[in-house]
Structure 1
Amino acid sequence: MLTCRHWIGQLRRWSSTSSRALLTDQNYVELRLDGKEVAKPLKYPTVWLRDNCQCPECFHAFTRARKSHWEQGPLNVKAESVIYNEQSQKLEVQWEDRHKSSFALEWLKERDFSEETRNKYLHNVYKPLAQLWSKKEFQQVRNEFQYEDILQKDEVLKSWLEALAVQGFAILKQAPNDMNVVRHLANRIGYIKKTTYGDIFEVKSKPNAGNYAYKMVPLPLHTDMPYYEYKAGINILHTLVQSSSVGGANTLTDGFYIADQMRQLYPDYFNVLKSIPVNWYDIGHDGDAKQPFHSLWRAPVICLDVDNQITRINQNTTKRDSRFSVPLDQVQKWYEAYNKFLELASAEAVEFKTEAGDVFVFNNLRMLHGRTAYEDSTENKRHLVGAYVDWDIIYSKLRTLKFPNAQD
């Protein structure tokens, strides 16, 4: 066991043959082991160590819940000494209030504050890194799976969910002629997101259509439900009957790719589209639904997360309100930026036509999708069934598949 005395001031030189735990300025603990285990020193704020003490008094292991009260620390308690126990491979901290904490080396390494460790967690555990793609790359990023494999094999389910997270879409083949296919898939992940259109919805031509998608006219590139604060995560569309007419083909563009192109090539337009909010709305009722709806949400076309990464695209010309609640001098520049966005999106759109038994699944926060015009006949009426699942549920399922021992 190697110990170190309370230390303030200049850093002492590290021994190249031994492990060291060093308290620096009372605010940090540095831990350096021999090169076999850790190439660079591990450094942790003492306030973080106290806040994350793993002892039974401070932490309830079964529920993974912190038990200590903030008013009892950690800002008001200083570390008095630190020890790295070679035998148990644990960092031991003695605090000035006589409390003792112990941290396993592997636990510490997984929570290292280095950029490499932070990125590993963000991309491997938090969310997979999206692979943006252009029109010419569509065939390389297109993933197909067998419907029954998704239902029966966890490894295939994991691959499918990863494809949705990384490439943003996938196609399932050979689904049965069953209205409940989308429900089975949603339940395989977790559960359906119920909306004003129900738990499952049908896309087919209807007289006196209450939604523009229920007409046979071309459906422009869009994302579903920009008028929802908690917008549906993925769209599951099962083709029961495909149009035998020339039309009825799907159109698809990677909205994150378009936003990234805007950021690189047209930064002024990008800043406009990420900062000026748009009024999105949906008013009416769906079919025989008894409850009318009046959905409103105000958000920019391009939304960024806390890491300044593109996280959501809002685009639906059929659901963009004529009320534009912004200062007068912002309107013209917004239209110019919006026009450029749609120009790029249209140029990058791919077109393909699903067959009966295909299930087209895509990231509704990312993918701009649409449809070419078609014509029903008395013998052939295009008929799709859809459902939504939220990304919170998808990411949770993906993590349980990737890290089955996380609860251990």
Structure 2
Amino acid sequence: MFASQFKINFLRNLPISRYYPTYKRLLSASLTEGNVVVVQQPNGGEPLQFPSVWLRDNCQCSECFHDNTKSRQANWKRINVESRIRSINGSHENNALTIDWQDDHKSTFTLAWLQDRDFAPANRKRYIEEVYKPTYQLWAKSEFQNVLRTFEFKDVMTQDKVLLEWLESLAIQGFSIIKNSPHNVTVVRQLADRIGYIKRTTYGEEFEVKSKDNARNYAYMMTPLPLHTDMPYYEYKAGINILHCLVQSQSQGGSNLMADGFYIAEKLRKEFPKLFEILVKTPVDWYDIGKDGDMSFHNIWRAPTICLDVDGRYHRINENSTKRDSHFTVPLKQVAPWYEAYDKFVELAYAEAVDFKTAPGDVFVFNNLRMLHGRTAYEDSPANKRHLIGAYVDWDIIYSKIRIIRSKNAINC
């Protein structure tokens, strides 16, 4: 039996007019015994349900919510979990519900605002996959040409529509190539600034990838660079890697290698589920010790090879054999099983790796949390030294830019 029941109908006895031609059903709401407000939508559709404590916590009045900062400003020390509803009223003028609380506070919620925050599974799924983060598309080696997206540098820099398409390609397919960039060392900074700003690391803001005497990083040699992700030794790992090809090797080598780490993880999960669980649950010690210019560093981060987010989706791949520490701080019995699982992951990755060679003016950009990348060996000559310029941008900045452009597009439609 309901502890209390509210049901409000509007317009039932009002004459039909040109102001309300679409109302076939009337706005109403009720309160269940479990203190859940059930809203019947005027034009049909599934009822919307909201816990009363959530409605009280999210009151949009000027006393509770600061509109300029989009911030809650009331009840921030403690939430009144015992808040009770005295009555619910509706408005046919602005299609909204007004709640009178027993603590003498009043809250008004528009139907559009409530619909956007409905707790129904389909709406939660929509928000996670469309607003929070676009759903990624897994791809195998055989699908590489179908998922490859290319963009013109000039278009990315001048058209928000193309900028959005480029950023979405990085979120969904995990990589793209920008063509016809100018021959100067500022290209990666221009692209990073177009999104937001560069992520500074112990290697600086922009970094050069070319062979160096007494190299202090494995990437600065002409030897093969195994499949890896950059900076697994960072808790806040760089989000995307922007690599601008200034000079490409004229030797047979210097080709990029790449595999979709999320696809490899999913393949492992389906075909070798026990090995998958080991790589999800076993923390690995990643490290980077050295000096670059005047910067000395000793970075350590412990994390599994395959990391999932709170929704169970793939979030981050940690793989870099050159930066895997000889310290392995797990129980002895976990070591040999981890090596078996890791070996299978690497085997699958190389089987699915594609290779391609960028040309001067190409910018290869990829999701560093997802894509395994590497390079074939090459040979410099006095007249030809392979030279790339790189930079990183964090995913927080990229997702923010995607949402901003989408929001502007929605307003302009």
TM over 0.5: yes
1:315-354 counterparts in 2 under 5 A?
315-354=319-358
What TM-score do the two structures reach when normalised by structure 2?
0.93
- 2:89 corresponds in structure 1 to 83
Contact 1:30 1:41 (C-alpha < 8 Å) held by counterparts = yes
Aligned partner letter, 2:296: P
The aligned residue for residue 217 of structure 1 is: 223
- What is the aligned length? 398
Tell me how far apart the structure 2 counterparts of residues 323 and 235 of structure 1 sit (CA, whole Å): 28
Amino acid at match of 1:61: D
Q: Which of 244, 247, 252 is the matching residue for 1:246?
A: 252
| Paired residue type of 1:51 | D
Q: Secondary structure at the match of 2:295?
A: coil
CA distance in 2, matches of 1:309, 1:65: 29
Please list the CA deviations of residues 358-394 of structure 1 after superposition, one character each: whole Å capped at 9, or x if unmatched: 0000000000000011111111111101000000111
Partner of 1:53: 59
Given that 2:6 and 2:29 are in contact with CA atoms closer than 8 Å, whether structure 1 keeps it comes out as no
What do the CA deviations read for 1:332-361 (whole angstroms, capped 9, x no partner)? 000000000000000000010000110000
Larger mean Cα displacement after TM superposition, 20-29 or 322-331: 20-29
Show the 5 A alignment for 1:34-113: 34=42, 36=43, 38-70=44-76, 73-113=79-119
Long gaps (5+) in structure 1: 1-5
Aligned-residue offset at 1:76? 2.2
Q: Decide which of 21, 36, 43 is 1:28's aligned counterpart.
A: 36
Identity within the alignment, %: 58
| C-alpha distance in 2 between matches for 1:301 and 1:117 | 32
The runs of 5 or more residues in structure 2 that have no matched partner are: 13-23
Letter of the structure 2 residue corresponding to residue 164 of structure 1: L
- Structural mapping, 1:98-247, within 5 Å: 98-247=104-253
Distance 1:70 1:232 in 2: 33
Q: CA deviation at 1:85?
A: 2.1
Asked if the contact 1:241–1:382 (Cα under 8 Å) also holds between the matched residues in 2, the reply is yes
Is the CA contact 2:60–2:107 (under 8 Å) kept in the aligned structure 1? yes
Residues 297-312 of structure 1 mapped to structure 2, 5 A cutoff:
297-312=301-316
Distance of aligned partners of 1:182 and 1:71 in 2 relative to their CA distance in 1, 3 Å threshold = closer
Once residues 316 and 207 of structure 1 are traced to their aligned partners in structure 2, the CA distance between those partners, rounded to angstroms, is 22
The Cα shift of 1:84 comes to 2.5
Report the AA paired with residue 241 of structure 1. V
Shift of residue 71, structure 1, vs aligned partner: 5.4
Match of 1:281 in 2: 287
Letter in 2 for 1:334: W
> d(CA) in 1 for partners of 2:68 and 2:232?
39
Following superposition, the deviation at residue 26 of structure 1 comes to 5.4
- Please state if 1:378 is matched with 2:373: no
SS of residue in 2 equivalent to 1:403: helix
Q: 2:92, 2:254 → 1: CA distance?
A: 67
Quote how far apart the aligned CAs of 1:141 are: 0.5
Shift of 1:8: 2.4
- Report the alpha carbon displacement of residue 70 of structure 1 after superposing the two structures with TM: 4.4
Cross-structure match for 2:27: 19
Provide, for residues 228-262 of structure 1, a one-character-per-residue CA deviation record: whole Å limited to 9, x for no partner: 00000000000000000111000000000011111
1:326 corresponds to which letter in structure 2?
V
| SS across alignment from 2:97 | strand
Shift of the alpha carbon at 1:17?
4.9
- 2:371 maps to 367
Q: Take 1:346 and 1:256, find their aligned partners in 2: how far apart are those partners?
A: 14
CA distance in 2, matches of 1:400, 1:72: 32
Contact 2:141 2:353 in 1 (8 A): yes
Secondary structure of 1:75's counterpart equals: coil
Deviation at 1:69, TM superposition (A): 2.1
Matching residue of 1:3: none
User: Structure 1: how far apart are the matches of 2:194 and 2:110?
Assistant: 36
Match of 1:78, as an amino acid?
A: R
Amino acid at match of 2:341: A
CA displacement, residues 60-90 of structure 1 (integer Å, 9 cap, x when unaligned)? 1111111112456431211122122233211
